[in-house]
């Protein structure tokens, strides 16, 4: 691996959630060690209960970091491997973040182009900026095959049937309302070409997405759990008929 390759930064997913789990775990360990409780005249430490909860919180935080730094690379390779690439496809990555899926897709293309769209929330991904994603594409050698845009997944400004492939990983659940998530699914279906393929991955509400895709006329060919991630993610493959 080249020295330049090490400069690519794909960020940490949900950094605030990780921080909260780790801080909660540390706080509970302190309580378990130093805070006494008196019940009916008997004083004791809260160590057994607090210690087990603390270990659980810290373990979750650590596993989330491991996902961000290691697991998500293999997972994205799995998602890309679910597409029968020709090399000329127009591809859309919804909620592209730092561009891991976007850049991976661009590497599969010869004459095709990969477009990434995001609202650039740093709550969902550390250091999430359009500029960093463009820089990552440049470092990875696919700058000419990539376009990075700002936009809302629930109201995308692309023409109907604009893309052969639509990808999205751990994005739709971040939309706060059911209506918004349903709109995002309908938008994904709208911008797909006939016979186009959508590969969607998320850890919650995936069954809702699947139902909305089916209402929009997509056929679900795969819906399964991917256990090599934390948390485990459900992967949906849908084709526009």
Which of residues 70, 104, 126 is at a domain's end?
A: 70
**Which of these three, 41, 70, 99, is where a domain ends?**
70
238 by Cβ neighbours in 10 Å (0-12 / 13-18 / 19+) ranks as buried
Q: What is the CATH number of the domain that holds 125?
A: 3.40.50.150
**CA-CA distance, 114 to 124, in Å (whole number)?**
22
**pTM of the predicted model, to two decimals?**
0.91
Final residue in a domain of this structure, among 21, 43, 70: 70
Structural domain containing residue 46: 4-70
Please check the confidence at residue 37 and state whether its pLDDT lies above 70. Answer: no
Q: 122-165: per-residue pLDDT in tens?
A: 999 999 999 999 999 999 999 999 999 999 999 999 999 999 99
151: Cβ contacts below 8 Å, ≥ 6 apart = 117, 118, 119, 157
Contact 209, 202 (CB under 8 A): yes
Please report which confidence band the pLDDT of residue 41 belongs to, taking 50, 70 and 90 as the band edges.
low
Peptide bond just before 231 cis, omega within 30 deg: yes
Residues 155 and 233 in one domain: yes
Judgement on whether residues 26 and 79 belong to the same structural domain of the protein: no
* Structural domain count, the chain: 2
The mean pLDDT of the chain is 92
DSSP string, 99-148: SHHHHHHHTT-SS-EEEEEE---TTTBTT--HHHHHHHHHHTT-GGGEEE
Contact between residue 219 and residue 237 where contact means Cβ atoms under 8 Å apart: no
The verdict on 189 and 230 lying in the same domain is yes
Same structural domain for residues 29 and 129? Answer: no
C-alpha dihedral sign at 167, 173, 174, 179: positive
Side-by-side strand order, sheet with 163-169: 146-150, 113-118, 90-94, 163-169, 192-202, 233-240, 218-226
- Tell me: do 208 and 101 sit in the same domain: yes
Percentage of the chain modeled with pLDDT above 70: 92
Do 134 and 155 fall within a single domain?
Answer: yes
Strand locations in the chain (E) = 36-39, 42-45, 90-94, 113-118, 146-150, 163-169, 192-202, 218-226, 233-240
Query: Which tokens in the block code for residue 35?
Result: 């805070």
Query: Do both 186 and 157 map to the same domain?
Result: yes
Same domain (yes/no): 66, 88: no
């Amino acid at each position: 691996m080249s020295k330049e390759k090490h400069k690519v930064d794909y960020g940490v997913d949900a950094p605030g959630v990780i921080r909260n789990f780790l801080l909660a775990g540390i706080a509970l360990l302190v309580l378990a060690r130093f805070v006494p409780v008196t019940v009916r005249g008997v004083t004791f430490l809260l160590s057994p209960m607090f210690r087990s909860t603390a270990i659980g919180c810290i373990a979750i935080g650590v596993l989330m970091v491991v996902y961000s730094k290691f697991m998500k690379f293999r997972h994205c390779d799995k998602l890309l491997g679910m597409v029968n690439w020709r090399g000329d496809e127009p591809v859309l990555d919804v909620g592209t973040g730092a561009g891991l899926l976007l850049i991976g897709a661009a590497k599969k293309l010869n004459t095709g182009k990969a477009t990434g769209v995001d609202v650039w929330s740093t709550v969902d991904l550390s250091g999430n900026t359009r500029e960093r994603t463009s820089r990552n594409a440049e470092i990875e050698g696919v700058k000419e095959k990539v376009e990075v845009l700002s936009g809302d997944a629930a109201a995308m400004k692309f023409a109907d049937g604009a893309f052969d492939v639509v990808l999205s990983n751990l994005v739709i659940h971040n939309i706060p309302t059911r209506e918004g998530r349903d709109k995002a699914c309908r938008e994904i279906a709208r911008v797909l070409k006939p016979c186009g393929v959508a590969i969607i991955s998320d850890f919650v509400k995936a069954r809702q997405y699947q139902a909305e895709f089916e209402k929009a006329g997509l056929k679900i060919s795969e819906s399964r759990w991917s256990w090599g991630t934390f948390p485990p993610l459900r992967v949906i493959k849908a084709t526009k008929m």
